[in-house]
A and B are shown apart, each in its own frame.
Chain A
Amino acid sequence: KAGVTQTPRYLIKTRGQQVTLSCSPISGHRSVSWYQQTPGQGLQFLFEYFSETQRNKGNFPGRFSGRQFSNSRSEMNVSTLELGDSALYLCASSFRSSYNSPLHFGNGTRLTVT
């Protein structure tokens, strides 16, 4: 079974621009979660989607948004990029809710904002 696929692997953007990251979950997984990883804050929960519905959202500003499609693929969008948005963005899929079933992470998209 193919793992979680995230594209692109690397992105360089300028302050003020917007960016869209893509995630293809493991086949059959209906839950997709997004996390931001930085050296200072570690792994922080952004949001979770299940069957195209956002179930929960972490403590991030409204510039961070996402969606999930009927095939469970998910996209994350960050508008009006700030320098502090530079991070590794990780997508994770799970069969059921992410709260108590194993999360399978992709290798992430490394976003650099200049």
Chain B
Amino acid sequence: QQQVKQSPQSLIVQKGGISIINCAYENTAFDYFPWYQQFPGKGPALLIAIRPDVSEKKEGRFTISFNKSAKQFSLHIMDSQPGDSATYFCAASETGGGADGLTFGKGTHLIIQP
């Protein structure tokens, strides 16, 4: 059972454009939502994370929007650059603990065209 659904699977954006990746979750007990960035040959690296008590969090060009009632959250990359080309994973977990650790989405392969 996939508890975090991520879309799109792949995305091509022109340099300077806005990249948008969406995730939806099912488990209402989830209360920690991080995004990870992975380059080929490397492990995932934490980009930004949000908790459900806020609707938006911004760090530089990266913004997470969170909609608790819809059980959805999204990553926006403003002014996308070729160096942002990577695979992005959303994830979710229960702060109180759970058997599944971090539950990851299947990933979005982002390509920024120069």
Q: Are A and B interaction partners?
A: yes
A45 close to B101 (CB less than 8 A): yes
B104 neighbours in A (Cβ, 8 Å): 35, 42-44
B45 neighbours in A (Cβ, 8 Å): 105
B84 neighbours in A (Cβ, 8 Å): none
B98 close to A100 (CB less than 8 A): no
Complex interface: stretch among A13-21, A72-80, A91-99: A91-99
Size class of the contact patch on chain A = 20 to 34
Closest chain-A Cβ to B90's Cβ sits at a distance in Å of: 11
- B89 lies within 8 A of chain A by Cβ: yes
Q: Is the interface of B mostly helix, strand, loop or mixed?
A: loop
A104 neighbours in B (Cβ, 8 Å): 46
Closest chain-A Cβ to B96's Cβ sits at a distance in Å of: 7
Q: Given the interface contacts A42-B106, A99-B95, does A105 sit within 8 Å of B43 by beta carbon?
A: yes
- A114 lies within 8 A of chain B by Cβ: no
Interface residues of B in 77-103 (CB under 8 A from A): 89, 91, 93-103
A58 close to B43 (CB less than 8 A): no
A-B contact pairs, 22 of them (CB 8 A): A35-B102, A42-B104, A42-B107, A43-B89, A43-B107, A44-B104, A45-B102, A47-B101, A48-B101, A56-B98, A56-B101, A58-B99, A58-B100, A98-B101, A99-B94, A99-B97, A99-B98, A100-B31, A100-B93, A103-B34, A105-B36, A108-B43
